[in-house]
Structure formats: C-alpha cells, structure tokens
Amino acid sequence: MALEVEAKFRSDPVLNSDMPRRLAGAGGRFLRRVLEINRIFDSPGRDLLSRGCGLRIRAYRQVEGDPAPATLTYKGPRQAGPLKSRREIETGLDDPAAAAGILAALGFVEAVSFQKRRASWVLGNCTVELDEVPYLGHFIEIEGPDEPSVLATGDALGLAGIPVEPRSYVALLAEWCRQHDRPPVGIAFE
C-alpha cells in the first residue's frame, strides 16, 4: 500500500512537445511511450465512484522504451491537501482480460473506459507523465513521494504559474460525456 501524491497541469500541444527538452535539460530520464487502455470498474450502483474511490485495470500498447506491465489498482478517496493524495494499492497482471472476467463474476461492471497517450519520464524522485486524453487534450502529471517534491519538480520544469487540475481523468471524462450525451465507455482516439 502506498500514498499517491500528484499534481496534474492542463497543457497544450506546444508545451507538451517542449517538455522532453526541459526534462532532459533538468537531468530527467525517458522511460517509455505507450497507449494506455484504462477500464474503471464499479458496482452497478456506483458505490466506489460515489465515495471517490476507483478500481482500475490498465493495459498498454507499447510504442517506445521500456515495457510496462498491466496493472490492477484500487484508489482510495482523496485526502485533504492542495495536491491530490490518496491511498493506492496496485499489482501487476499477466492477463488483463481474465482480471476483468473475475471482476465481472464478482458483480462489478465497467463504468468508464478510455485510452490515453502517455510518455513517462523520471526526474529526481518523481515521475513525470506527458498525457493526451481524447476530448480532454494534453496534461502534465507529476507524481512523487510528497507534496514538496512534486511542487519542486513542477517549478524546475517551469510549471509554477499553471494551476493544478484537481479532478481525475475519470471525473473530467464523465463530465465531458454528460455534456455531450455520450456514455463514458469506449473513449478512444479516432
């Protein structure tokens, strides 16, 4: 069990395309570029999401760099503070489809599913993710062991003036889908 501490910044294609140069200049190390497939499961009554919790299966299509294992993740409710902090329990998966079958057999249903393009870097003791999500656009996500580390990494990358986006991708996509009268399942790049 770990505590996830992260800051997410809305970005644009220009800033995201400049970020690898900034990361390399600050001593960052490129890990991988992937297409993520994220499947969020919940009870039919949406008990987890209503409490701010999540149950996710994440699989990858490798594009470049180190391979990434599929994962099953539980995320607890957000804790108080300026950055998003929440309990996270995660394990690797050999067979994401079998894990989805187990969750379905236990009564869980797929509540949200979406793709994400992600380039992952490490800078100091933080992970920096350059993300693109269909319909939502570009983001920079910094995850680290504590708030000072995450904020210092953001400052080192020139993000100090950009407000932190407090909502999760799941919440942002659910809002977008409500506004566009679309189910939040199967959100993918065209």
Concatenated DSSP letters of 152-170: HHHHHTT-TTSPB--S-HH
Domain contains 190:
no
139 assigned to some structural domain: yes
Mean pLDDT, the chain, integer: 94
- Contact call for residues 103 and 41 (beta carbons, < 8 A): yes
What is the mean pLDDT of the segment spanning 112-122?
A: 97
Q: Indicate the number of domains in the chain.
A: 1
CATH number of the domain enclosing 124: 2.40.320.10
Q: What angle do CA 140, 114, 100 make, to 5 degrees?
A: 125
pLDDT of residue 25: 96
Predicted pLDDT at 67 = 82
Q: Does residue 134 have a pLDDT over 70?
A: yes
In a domain, 130, yes or no: yes
Q: pLDDT confidence of 1, banded at 50, 70, 90?
A: low
* Predicted pLDDT at 150: 96
State the residue range of the domain holding 171. Answer: 2-179
Residue 190: pLDDT band with limits 50, 70, 90: confident
In a domain, 145, yes or no: yes
Judge whether 188 lies within some domain: no
Sign of torsion over alpha carbons 70, 26, 16, 171: positive
Least confident of 32-36, 54-58, 79-83, 186-190: 79-83
Annotate 58-95 with b (16+ C-beta within 10 A) or e (fewer). Answer: bbbeeeeeeebebbbbbbbebeeeebbbbebeeeebee
Higher pLDDT, 118 or 4: 118
- 10 inside domain: yes
Q: Answer whether residue 80 shows pLDDT above 70.
A: yes
Residue pair 55/74 in contact by the 8 Å Cβ criterion? yes
Residue 132 in domain: yes
Q: Is residue 82 part of a domain?
A: yes
